Amino acid sequence: FGHRVYKSFDPRATIVKATADQVLGELGVNDPMLQIAKELEEAALSDEYFVERKLYPNVDFYTGVIYKAMGFSPKMFTPLFAVGRLPGWIAHWREMMLDPALRIGRPQQVYTGPEKRSI
């Protein structure tokens, strides 16, 4: 719940919620997880704590339900989320490489982890 940019309801969350209904319907999945998610959302939106702090469901709230319904392991949720961002990350990197003023990667931007990792 909550988002750094969206201080009201995340408009993407509305779309993902509708998509969750659609995907589960098309797959013929009657997943109790979706019903629980809807009930949690309803409870949070009527709870003073969440309302006062403007904590609304964000885009990630229903994506886990969709991934689970599609048969993905929870271990794959983060990689699936990242795949959608790869084009933007690559575009930022390319922009940095093509602009001589930006070519120097700052230390906090340089990956220093192991070269090979198993997924």
Angle between helices 32-45 and 60-69 (to 10 degrees): 170
Angle, CA 86 vertex, CA 3 and CA 108 arms, to 5°: 70
If we measure between CA atoms, which residue out of 56, 73, 64, 55 comes closest to residue 23? 64
Q: Which residues are catalytic?
A: 3, 60
Q: How far apart are CA 56 and CA 16, in angstroms?
A: 14
